[in-house]
Amino acid sequence: MAHLTDMSSRILIIDYGSQYTQLIARRVREARVYSEIHPPTRSVEWVREWNPTGIILSGGPNSVYGENVPTADPALLDVAPTLGVCYGMQLISHLLGGEVIRGAHREYGRDEVIIDEGEALFAGFTPGERTQVWMSHGDHVEKAPPGFRVVAHSGKQAIAAIRHESKPILAVQFHPEVAHTPRGSEIIANFLFDTCRCTPDWTPGAFIEEEVAKIRAQVGNARVICGLSGGVDSSVAAALVHRAIGDQLTCIFVDNGLLRLHEREQVERTFRAHLGIDLRVVDASQQFLDALAGVDDPETKRKRIGHTFIDVFEEAAQSVGDDVRFLVQGTLYPDVIESVSPTGGPSVTIKSHHNVGGLKPDMKFALIEPLRELFKDEVRNVGRELGLPEEMVGRHPFPGPGLGIRVISDVTQEKLDVLRQADAIYLEEIRSAGLYNEIWQAFAVLLPIRSVGVMGDERTYENVLALRAVTSTDGMTADWFHFPHEVLGRISNRIIREVTGINRVVYDVSSKPPATIEWE
């Protein structure tokens, strides 16, 4: 359940399968109100017990007239103020006696709606005003349910928003949560603060205070271990648990030989000197190389790296003492949502997450996952509040399997050394150009391709290196970063000149979707 006192505001988001559901949660949290995403299979009794300040029904790809589509008990609409978005609006209308018409074709993209009433959701808007919105729906509401007023319409006289005349039930046929609806945050804020009377108390400081109290209550006098990777998530999780229980925490850093240049030294310096945490370092690079020998399938790589990590980690944990009862993991909210289908149905495994579902079933430790309800940007803010250095808090994401999945073939020490050196030059040049903080993630990938080149009047036949850099807010969607040409040129020249074994550099200009951010 949420890390909140009973007095705090919280919004329950029922996920009907929209690609934008996480954006709704983020927009609510940006307004400093806590939100959680749950499937439509939650019972009304469960929702009442959860005690939401407000409920948002998300969009989704289904038709209310389809077979076996997610629905809702009409009693849900009496639990708390409710906002329906797209499919959520059609569902409210369908449940309460309105008329929903099957769409002959899907309405998708930018549109304009005309505001009929400048109050409730549209407080601050002028009646008759036109505002840009983002549409994404097939069916539409032809006739509002009894007791509802139409408060916005599109130029085609289609119903764009409705509200109940006496109950706090509102709905819109567009997506206020996306950037393409410029005043969408205003509309969401009107629902949160005017309709639901929420208090904006979801802050990093409040989260830390609540979490510290919870960790202390959960742990008591037991010892706790944390697998430290040096990345943002495990670093913030370790710092937060250390704030709660101090010397009861021991961090174990496994050097798997798949790290970036000087990464081990940086972790040792930060956590021993800066935070004063009990840190044990285990050099297991040869074990990981042995486990990866001859393996080129990315999913097999991830599993072998994960299993080897657990073996090494468990052996190291035994040396800490017999009274260790808890294990800290830096699991984040998107990990949880991606790994378990939010609609309660089957979900496709895109890749195995390093932090979720990879642990052995007979593991003797109970889990502490203090960041389980946070998005990445929230984790960074908590880290800053805890006093972690910006060079650590602002670091680009780095996958648990490390460089093992950035060598697109079988992994050898020679290939890792080549990739490590090239990756370090890439990041160094990005920083010196002042671009590091504009990029969500940047990394190099060693391809299983060799190409002909010429160096010093001699023919070469060496490796091709791909560079990847993307912009994103949470890694769920991403666009490739538009480097100034002179910066890309400088990076390419340095890598080819300084890294033996590479004679060609290419840049990846694909977005997510359809591509993933990592190549494997």
**38, 14 Cβ separation under 8 angstroms:** yes
Q: Tens digits of per-residue pLDDT, 146-176? A: 999 999 998 776 899 999 999 999 999 999 9
Residue 24 and residue 172 share a domain: yes
* Residues recorded for the chain: 520
State the catalytic residues: 86, 175, 177
| pLDDT higher than threshold 80 for residue 106 | no
The CB density around residue 439, as the number of other CB atoms within 10 Å, is 16
Residue 373 and residue 334 share a domain: yes
Instruction: State yes or no: 339 annotated in a binding site.
Output: no
Residue 190 and residue 313 share a domain: no
Residue 190 and residue 215 share a domain: no
CA–CA separation, 520 and 516 (whole Å) = 8
Q: What is the mean pLDDT of residues 25-30?
A: 93
Q: What is the mean pLDDT of residues 316-325?
A: 83
Residue 188 and residue 233 share a domain: no
Q: What is the pLDDT of residue 456?
A: 61
Residue 129, burial from CB neighbour count under 10 angstroms (0-12, 13-18, 19+)? middle
| pLDDT higher than threshold 90 for residue 343 | no
271 within domain boundaries? yes
Residues facing 135 on adjacent strands: 109
Half-sphere exposure of residue 227, counting CA atoms within 13 Å on the CB side?
Answer: 25
Give the CATH number for residue 254: 3.40.50.620
- Last residue of one domain, picked from the residues 393, 419, 448: 393
Give the CATH number for residue 483: 3.30.300.10
**387, 243 Cβ separation under 8 angstroms:** no
435 within domain boundaries? yes
5 within domain boundaries? no
Question: Cβ contacts of residue 340 below 8 Å, gap of 6+?
Answer: 347
**228, 313 Cβ separation under 8 angstroms:** no
Task: Name the domain count of the chain.
Answer: 3
515 within domain boundaries? no
Residue 181 and residue 214 share a domain: no
Instruction: State yes or no: 230 annotated in a binding site.
Output: yes
CA–CA separation, 346 and 341 (whole Å) = 6
**191, 83 Cβ separation under 8 angstroms:** yes
Would you state the structure tokens that stand for residue 459, as one six-digit string?
């023919």
Q: Minimal CA–CA distance to 398: which of 275, 234, 251?
A: 234
Going from the C-alpha of 494 to that of each of 498, 499, 503, 504, the distances in angstroms are 6, 8, 11, 11
Residue 456 and residue 416 share a domain: yes
Give the CATH number for residue 104: 3.40.50.880
2 within domain boundaries? no
Q: What is the mean pLDDT of residues 497-510?
A: 94
Residue 210 and residue 173 share a domain: no
Q: What is the mean pLDDT of residues 75-103?
A: 93
Residue 372 and residue 305 share a domain: yes
- Give the domain range for residue 468: 411-507
SS3 260: coil
Residue 245 and residue 208 share a domain: yes
One-letter amino acid for residue 286 of the chain: Q
Q: Tell me how far the alpha carbon of residue 519 is from its chain's centroid.
A: 18
Instruction: State yes or no: 489 annotated in a binding site.
Output: no
- Last residue of one domain, picked from the residues 393, 419, 444: 393
Residue 275 pLDDT class (50, 70, 90 cuts): confident
Q: Tens digits of per-residue pLDDT, 282-311? A: 999 999 999 999 998 989 999 999 889 888
CA–CA separation, 440 and 471 (whole Å) = 5
Q: Tell me: cis bond preceding 40? Omega within 30 of 0 counts.
A: no
Question: Cβ contacts of residue 357 below 8 Å, gap of 6+?
Answer: 339
- What single string gives the DSSP state of each residue in 443-500? EEEEEEEEEEEEETTEEEEEEEEEEEEEE-SSSSSBEE----HHHHHHHHHHHHHHST
438 within domain boundaries? yes
**40, 70 Cβ separation under 8 angstroms:** yes
Instruction: State yes or no: 231 annotated in a binding site.
Output: yes
Angle at 287 between CA 271 and CA 371, to 5 degrees: 40
Would you state the structure tokens that stand for residue 200, as one six-digit string?
């904006």
Q: Tens digits of per-residue pLDDT, 439-482? A: 999 999 999 988 777 666 566 678 999 999 999 876 778 899 99
- Last residue of one domain, picked from the residues 158, 175, 195: 195
The CB density around residue 336, as the number of other CB atoms within 10 Å, is 17
Q: Tens digits of per-residue pLDDT, 170-226? A: 999 999 998 889 999 999 999 999 999 999 999 999 999 999 999 999 999 999 999
Instruction: State yes or no: 234 annotated in a binding site.
Output: yes
Beta strands in 53-210 (DSSP E): 54-57, 82-85, 99-101, 107-115, 130-137, 140-143, 148-154, 159-164, 169-172
Residue 231 and residue 130 share a domain: no
Instruction: State yes or no: 235 annotated in a binding site.
Output: yes
One-letter amino acid for residue 187 of the chain: I
Residue 140 pLDDT class (50, 70, 90 cuts): confident
| pLDDT higher than threshold 80 for residue 357 | no
Residue 355 and residue 292 share a domain: yes
Q: Where are the alpha helices (DSSP H) in 276-347?
A: 285-292, 298-318, 333-339
Going from the C-alpha of 509 to that of each of 394, 443, 505, the distances in angstroms are 24, 13, 13
- What single string gives the DSSP state of each residue in 390-420? HHHHTPPP--TTGGGGTBSSS--HHHHHHHH
Residue 113 pLDDT class (50, 70, 90 cuts): very high
For the whole model, what pTM was predicted?
A: 0.79
Q: Minimal CA–CA distance to 320: which of 426, 411, 247?
A: 247
517 within domain boundaries? no
**131, 125 Cβ separation under 8 angstroms:** yes
Radius of gyration of the chain from its Cα atoms, rounded to whole angstroms = 26
Q: What is the pLDDT of residue 318?
A: 82
**484, 492 Cβ separation under 8 angstroms:** no
Mean of all residue pLDDT scores within the chain? 87
Residue 353 pLDDT class (50, 70, 90 cuts): very low
CA–CA separation, 231 and 488 (whole Å) = 26
| pLDDT higher than threshold 70 for residue 235 | yes
Residue 227 pLDDT class (50, 70, 90 cuts): confident
Phi, psi of 475 (to 5 degrees): 80, -5
Q: How many percent of the chain have pLDDT more than 90?
A: 61
326 within domain boundaries? yes
CA–CA separation, 143 and 139 (whole Å) = 12
Residue 43 pLDDT class (50, 70, 90 cuts): very high
